Structure 1
């Protein structure tokens, strides 16, 4: 994927409570980081009691500040990934809107523990640069990236996807991926399926039922028969879905990047997204994606009209442009940018750290 670094280092990416984020976007981002680290010839260490040269911290869980302070005691640089903001915490779980200001104070405290903060987009950097976060350390932008050698177009996937879903060979399939949250657009997505009974809508991903809000529970319980929820699937099945779908419809209301969108673009599927600030700025309507803006009672009707245009071939084909853009954030490119961040943060190999872990 990339040339090996001349001075390999040991990168601590502790498991701990991070395992709780396995099925989330943060979990995917961490897996991408591991691939980028290894592509550079570095070693990933998961046990904080072993020797390490730098720590990457990604989750807003209670063990994160302990791990940051442990690294400081060892005089090792701390890179804090800012995947979360107050904005994308809202409309997530029961009580999240009321807790959002407290959550912002908590993540701001965590981010301030880093020798550098890494965030996946310029939009996210703008949000966490606000005075309320109080971050004085450098904030670097580094995409979470996508493995374009894995997520790539496959014209043969169309019949396989329909067979796997038990659909007719000519069925029109529209895909979305993510946790089942209001923020991810699940309410509008279900209403969109209701307005387009001639299309099969498939949502991959799940949320622990104990964390579903009442309105999401009602939406899932009352979803029309053309709305399917296969749950969380492995990457191979997800790739098959991207490549076999007629469109990817991502109605999220807030993102710091959205790895699933890069995966869809890498697979060459026509894409419709909600025109949130991140996508309006980073990929204006009609450049990499087609977009529909708004958030209200009229939104599902507007989205349905736009989606019919996309499925009917009335909108410009942007799939080649989307694939090229995804190649620009391939994990090989991300790895090289990560190496630059390591250099700026003063990351270096420690002989003592290597000797402590030679048998690990």
Structure 2
């Protein structure tokens, strides 16, 4: 682990980066911002700096093409004192190979249960993808995982050197202002925020028999099909910054139907705006919601959504205040490994 008092030259390599809009990008960009403000030099290398190819069936996600040579030049130009590989895509594998050739220590993080995503999209048995992920992360000095339940699952799947790393929320931006955002829609307003893709299980939310209105904030490959199937739902497209905060604040409940997310940053953002969360009792929600008064988990998602209407919005805000980006960045930094073993 690194000395807290020594300025750091941190290189983060990630296949998930701007202009993508998701929890991984928000987490990495915010951690980089916090660490820079504290005096560290942080360089992020993402697909935006390479020739790219759209991911099949998911064109808004672009993958770097043959990045090794250009990546090595970028790395040498920055001269890092620590390396973190955040994803297992083409850039992640290229940086892993570079570190191994040079004998550099590095850390990794697991943000996404990719085997479950792949199974949802292709039907491929998850065990094959888990074997690949295990090989990828085993080469590093530690794998960061956001929740207790994820760390337990990784241990059962043969991962080693697992390190805890929580998440944070911008309590200034997500402040509860904008309760009138969906004033033109019948109440209560049930909201979903995130990629509109099959792995997010949004259909389970849209098919619920609920009073009031359903709103989907986000975009993705499943949007057109879901709009056709559920014409009564309101699809608002992507929102960021203040517009996203107002979307949360204007809702009565955030419904989080995903069964595959490892955390679900949108839950904290909604809670910070005073909006309680309804979710299945799965990884992520089980680590954040029970005992908080900020939401309800139930195998019956409709029951959870209706019960969440009775949650105290002040309690939701208070629970979100336990998660700060400063603590998230500090925990991340302390878990990093110096390049050299000496």
Please tell me the TM-score bracket, short chain as reference: 0.7 to 0.9
How do 1:90-105 and structure 2 match up within 5 A?
Answer: 92-93=120-121, 95=122, 97-98=123-124, 100-105=126-131
State the shift of 1:67 in Å.
Answer: 0.5
Report the equivalent of 2:273.
267
CA RMSD of aligned residues (A): 2.9
Cα distance in 1 for partners of 2:257, 2:103 equals: 44
* 2:11 alignment counterpart: 12
Structure 2 CA distance for partners of 1:306 and 1:284, relative to 1, 3 Å: closer
Structure 1 residues 309, 142: CA separation in 2 closer, same or farther (over 3 Å shift)?
closer
**In structure 2, what is the equivalent of residue 292 of structure 1?**
298
> Structure 1 length normalisation: TM-score?
0.76
Q: Does 1:206 align with 2:200?
A: no
Alpha-carbon distance change, 323 to 145 in structure 1, aligned in 2, over 3 angstroms: same
Q: Which runs of 5+ in 2 are unaligned?
A: 45-73
Give the 3-state SS of the residue equivalent to 2:236 in structure 1.
Answer: strand
Q: Determine if contact 2:148/2:287 at 8 Å carries over to the other structure.
A: no
Distance in 2 of aligned mates of 1:63 and 1:281: 30
Query: What pairs with 1:1-360 in structure 2 (closer than 5 Å)?
Result: 6-14=5-13, 17-19=15-17, 22-46=20-44, 47-50=74-77, 51-85=79-113, 88-89=116-117, 92-93=120-121, 95=122, 97-98=123-124, 100-130=126-156, 132=157, 134-136=158-160, 138-154=161-177, 157-159=178-180, 161-162=181-182, 167=184, 171-192=187-208, 195-196=209-210, 198-207=211-220, 209=221, 212=222, 218-225=225-232, 227-280=233-286, 282-284=288-290, 287-294=293-300, 303=302, 305-311=303-309, 315-317=310-312, 319-342=313-336, 345-346=337-338
Please state how far the C-alpha of 1:18 moved relative to its aligned partner: 3.3
Q: Deviations over 1:120-171 (max 9, x none)?
A: 11111111112x4x433x21111132222222222xx122x236xxx25x64
Structure 1 unaligned residues grouped into runs of 5+:
349-360
Task: Say if 1:39 and 1:140 are closer, same or farther in 2 by CA, change over 3 A.
Answer: farther
Matched residues in 2 for 1:59 and 1:20: separation? 14
Equivalent pairs, count: 309
Shift of 1:246: 1.7
Q: In 1, are the aligned partners of 2:81 and 2:338 still within 8 Å (CA)? A: no
SS in structure 1 of the partner of residue 75 of structure 2: coil
Query: What do the CA deviations read for 1:235-282 (whole angstroms, capped 9, x no partner)?
Result: 321111111212211122232111110111111112222222543355
Q: Which has the larger radius of gyration?
A: 1
State the TM-score, normalizing by the size of structure 2.
Answer: 0.79
